Chain A
Amino acid sequence: MIVADHVTFQYAESSEPALRDISLSIDDGDFVGITGTSGAGKSTLAMALNGIVPHEWKGDFYGSVKIDGMDTVEHQTEDFCRKIGEVFQDIDSQMVASVVEDEILFGLENFGVPHGEIKIRLEKVLEDLGIPDLRKREISSLSGGQKQKVAIAAILALEPRILVLDEPTGELDPESSREIFGLLRKLNEEKGITIVIIEQKIKLLCEYVKRLIVLDKGALAFDGVPGEIISHIETFKTLGINVPPVAELSYLLRQSGVYDGGITLTVQEAEKMVREVLHDPV
C-alpha cells in the first residue's frame, strides 16, 4: 500500500511546483489510472510514489510518501526496488543492455532469481507480450512499439507487487495498447498485483481501471471510479481532457432528458443505451 500525505515537490531548476499538496492512498490490488494534460505532473507523481523523487531528482520535497509503511525519504531505493517496479516514459534511456534478452535478464539476475526459474520467467514474459521472436534482436534496431514492449517485459519479469507504468502505450497501435491493458487486468485480477498506469487515452482507462486520478497543474483534480466522471464532464472539458465519446453521449442524452441510466464507458454499453432510448431492442 502506498500513502502520499500532502506531497508538494518542486524540481531544483524549476520556478513552480510540479506537484501541489497531493494526498492519496493506493490500496493493495488496486488498478489506478492517472491522466492529465502534458506537464500536469503525472510522471513526477509516479516517481514520487516509488522514491525516485526526491532521491534521484533533486528539489524541494514536502509531505511524505510511505510504501508499506516505509518512508521513501528515510529509505534508499534498494529497500523498495523489489516491491515496486516502474516502466518509465522515456523508452530509450531506461534500457540497460543492447540485446533484448540481456535487457530482461538484467533485473532477474540482480534480484538473484534462481537460474532455473530465470529461463521460465524470461520465456513466459516474452510470450505474454507476443515478442518471442525479438529475443536475440539488438534493441537499437527495434521500432518504438517493440522497444516499449521490451521495456514492459523487463519489468513484468521481475513480478513486483506494485507496478507503475508511465504512458506504456504511447508508441503502440490501438490493438497492442488494448492487449497491454488486458494483460495488466489479468495480472491485477489473478495475481493481485497493484497497478498504477499513466495514460493519455482516457477511453482505455475508463474501460479498464478501477479508479481514475486526474491531475491539473500538479494538483489532484479528480479521484474516483470512472463511472463518476459523468457528473464531472464539464470540469474535464475545462481541463482540456477528452472524455470518451460514448461517455459524453450518455451525458448529453441525460442532459436532454431522454435517458436516466448510468454513464456508458464502452461501445457495447452505449449501443444498449441507444437502443433503449430508441425503443429498438435487438
Chain B
Amino acid sequence: MSKDNQILEEFTSKEYEHGWSVDMEVDEAPPGLNEEIIKWISAKKEEPQWLLDWRLKAFKTWSEMTEPEWANVTYPKIDLQALRYYSAPKKSKKPKSLDEIDPELLQIYERLGISLNEQKKLQGIAVDAVLDSVSVGTTFKETLSKLGIIFCSFSEAVKEHPELVKQYLGSVVPMTDNYYAALNSAVFSDGSFCFIPAGVRCPMELSTYFRINAANTGQFERTLIVAEDSSYVSYLEGCTAPQRDENQLHAAVVEIYAAKNAEVKYSTVQNWFPGDKNGKGGIYNFVTKRGICAGDNSKISWTQVETGSAVTWKYPSCILKGDNSVGEFYSVAVTNNYQQADTGTKMIHIGKNTKSRIVSKGISAGKSQNSYRGQVQVMKRATNARNFSQCDSLLMGDRCGAHTFPYIDIQNSSAKVEHEATTSKIGEDQLFYCNQRGISTEDAVALIVNGYAKEVLNQLPMEFAVEAQKLLALTLEGSVG
C-alpha cells in the first residue's frame, strides 16, 4: 500500500466538534407542507397580506415543479411532508438588548465560540445571530443606523421597511427559479436584511451566524442585501449545526442587488454537520445564491469555504447587467468520508466590458465526491466580456473523486474566456519534506492544504480567514498517523 493510501486509511472521523443540541422549549409548526402551514407561519410572524399571497403563489409554483436530478450527488429522497417548517425558541417578548436574551441561547453561541459581547465589538463585527428561525440579537445597530444602514432580521425588515422588501424580494432569485428556491419562497422562516444607502461605505463587516438546532426542522433562510449607488459592504455568513442522525434539509436563498458603482463582498464559512464517518446523518445543503450587478461599474464578489454538509448543491452566481461590472467567485470546498459537494458558479455577462473571475479549489478525501460546476454565459450585447476560470482539485487518497463540469456559452465574438484546470495529489515528497523539518504529518497536511487554498483564503476578512484555516485543518485532522 502506498503512503498516500495509508494516509487515507488512517483518515479518521474526528467527531464533529459542534455536535450537541440544547433542550429548549420551542414554538413549532406541526410537520407537513400545505397551504394551511404556510398561512400558519405567516400568521405566526404577523406578516402583511401581500407577503402571504407571495408565499402562497410560490407554494403553487413549487407544487408544480419536480426535484432536480442533474447534480452529481446521490441521496435518498427527502420526505418534505415529514419536516416541520417553523421552529422558534419560545420567548415572551422581543429582546431589546443582549441582557434580555435567553442565557441558554447565549450559551449556545458561547459554545460555538461566537460571543455577541465585547469581543466581537472590539473586532468591529456586528452580529445578527439566527437560531433556527428567529433572529435573536443584533448588535451595533445604532452605529449602523446613524449611517442609514439597515441591518436586521428579515421579519423585522418586513415590519419596519415593507416597501424595500417588497421592491427587492424575489427580484434576483424569482420564486420560479428552481425547486428549492420556490420551496424557500413559500416557507422561509427568517434571515437577514441589509440595506446600504447611496454613497455609504459600511464601516464594519456585517456577520450572521446561522445554526440549525431543533430536530427535523428544515431551515429556510432568506437573505437580502441591497447596495445603493456607490455604496460598499462586506457581509459574512458562518454556520454550524449540531449533530443529528436524521438528515436535515437546508434550503436558503440569498439575493444581492448592487446598483451603480456599488460593491458587495459576500463571504461564507460553512461547516454544517457533514454526517459521521460512515455517511450517517448530515445536512442537505441546497442553496440558491445570486447577485445582480444592476448598475454600471458595480461589483459582486462571492467567497466561500465549504467544509460541512453531507450533500451540498450550491452555485453563488452573478448577473453582470451593468456595463463594466465585475463578478468574482472564490471557493474552497472540502469533502471527506461520504460527503458530496456539487458546487460552482454562474457568471452571466449581459453588459459591455463585464469581467468575471472564478477561482475554485476542491479538496477531496475519504470516499467523498467533489464536483465543480461552472457556467460562463456571454450574451449578444456583452461586447468585450472577459472571464478567467481556474479550477483546481486536490486529492487525498484514491477512493475519492474530483469532477469538473465547465459550461461555456458565448454569443458575442469579442468575448475572451479562459479556463484552466489542474488535479494534484498531496505528495508523499511534500509530507516527508515537512516531517524532516520537525513538522508532524497532521500539521503538514494543514500547511499544504492551506497553501493550496491560499488564493481563496486571502479573499476573506482577517478574522474569518483565521477561522477558515482552522476549519480546514480540523476537517482533515486525524487524517494521517
A and B are partners in one complex rather than unrelated chains: no
A residues in contact (CB < 8 Å) with B: none
B residues in contact (CB < 8 Å) with A: none
